[in-house]
Structure 1
Amino acid sequence: MDASNPTPVVALPLDADSVPAQPPVAEQRPHNVTAPHGATRQDEYYWLRDDERADPDMLAYLESENGYTDAVMAPLADSKAALYEEIVGRIKQDDSSVPYKYKDYWYYTRFEEGQEYPIHARRVGSMDAPEEIMLDVNELAEGRDFYQVGNWKVSPNQTLLAYVEDTVGRRQYTLRVKDLGGGETLSVQIPGVSTSLAWAADNTTLFYIENDEETLLTRWVKTHTLGGEAGSDPVVYEE
C-alpha cells in the first residue's frame, strides 16, 4: 500500500443498541490430537468438531456466533442483496466446459440457467451425437443443505462411473459407483475418503484414499473390488 495514499477505512453503519458489546468467545478445552506419525499436539477447540451435528454446547456456540454476525451485518442487508444480484448477473448461467475425448466418448460439464450445480455428460463419437447425462448434480443435491461431487472417474471400458460426494461440507467424501448403462447407483458406499480416485484395468477394482478419523488427513491408499465388503479392503500404501 502507498503510504502517501492509504486505503480509506469505511465505517459500518452499526446500530450500537442492536449489536452485542462483545463477540462470543469459544471455551478452551484441553484435547490431545495424535498425528499418524505419532506426534501429539493440543487442540483446545477440538470439542467444536461434532460429526453428528448434535452436541448442544457446540450448537449453542454456533448459534451465538451466527446471532452476532447477523446483528453486525444487519445494516448492510440491502447492500448484500444488491451485490449478490450483481455477481449473479455477471455469471454466464448456461455455461459449459470445453469437451475432451477419452476413447469412444466426448466428455464435458455444463450448467443450466437457474440451476446451481453442474451436469456431467458425454456423447459417443462426436458432439453431434445424443447427450448421455452421467451425473446431474442438481438432482443429487435436491433436498440437501449442502452437496458437492468432489471428483469422478469413468472406468476403462466406459461403463461405470466412480464418484465421491460430500453432503455436509467437511470435505470428507463418500465413494459411490454408478452403472452408466442402466443408470443405477450401485450399493457401494465407502465413507471418509478423499477426492483421489483411480480405476484398475480390470474395470472392477478401484484405488482410493481413506482419511484418518482423528486428523481428517489422507492416510491409507486402499483398493476396493466391486461386490466386496469395504471393511476388508486391503491397504496398498500408508502415509
Structure 2
Amino acid sequence: MADFDCPDQVSVVIRPSGGDDHSLSAADFIKQVDALRQLLALSEARGAVDARIVKLHMNSPATVVMETIGADDRPVDLSSFFRGIEAVVVGGQAPREFERPVFEALRDFAAVVGKSVRSATLEAFGRTILIDLEARKRIESVFGEDTSAEGTVDGMLEAVNVHGKKNTFGLYPIVGASRVSCKFEDDLLAKVRPALGRYVIIEGELKYRWREKFPYEARATKIEVMDEDQPSFIDILGMAPNATGGLASEDFTRKVRHGWH
C-alpha cells in the first residue's frame, strides 16, 4: 500500500491481471487515473476540487498518489465523500447525495477491472477500498432505470431531420443537458419548420436518466416560439458580473451541473 505524507492524499494501486510481475496497459492506466481525477473533481458541490500527482511508482503494481486541492489552493477533507464511495463499492448502495456523474466516474474507473486489470485499491482519508470484479459488478448494479414525465423544456431549436420520416430535431438549452434529442409527429411539422434557429419552449413527454435533473430526450407535442424581441446573448453579456459569486466561470458551471440538491 501507499505511504501517506498527509491525510488529504488519495492513492490508487493498480494490479495487472497477470500478477504484480506483469506489465500494465498504458491505455488502462491512463483511463483509471483520469477517471479518478474526474471523481475527485465531482466530490465537492460547494466549490471546485482538483488533484495533483505527488507520487508516481511505475513498477508493477503501478501506484499513483494524488493530493486534493480546493479552489483556494488548500487541501480539502473528502472523508465523507469517500464514505459514500465505500458504500457504493462494498455495499452496492447509492448514496442520495451523489449525482449521476459521480457514479459514472466510478463506473469508468472500474471498467477495466476484470479485463487487463485484476484489481485497483483506493486509499483515501483512512479508508482502503478494493475494487475487484465483484465490486465492479456492484458499482454497475446501482444504476437505476430511466424515467419519463410530462413537462416542458426550452432551448434553441436546430438540426431538424425529416428524412425517412425520422422527424427529429435538437434542442439546445442554456441550463442542463447540452442537447435534448426531440421526436415529433407529422402534424407538428408545420410548427417545427418556422421555429428552426429560434428559441422555443416545447411540451411533451420528457425522458430522464437515473439521478439526472434535466431531460436528455423528449417527444414533443407542442412548440411555442419565444418572442423575437427577447435580448440576445450579446445583449445580456456582462449584465450580472457578480452572478457566479466570485467563482471562475468553469467552476460555477461545474457547480450548476453537478451540485444541485
What TM-score, normalized to structure 1? 0.23
Q: Which has the higher helix share?
A: 2
Larger radius of gyration: 1
What TM-score, normalized to structure 2? 0.22
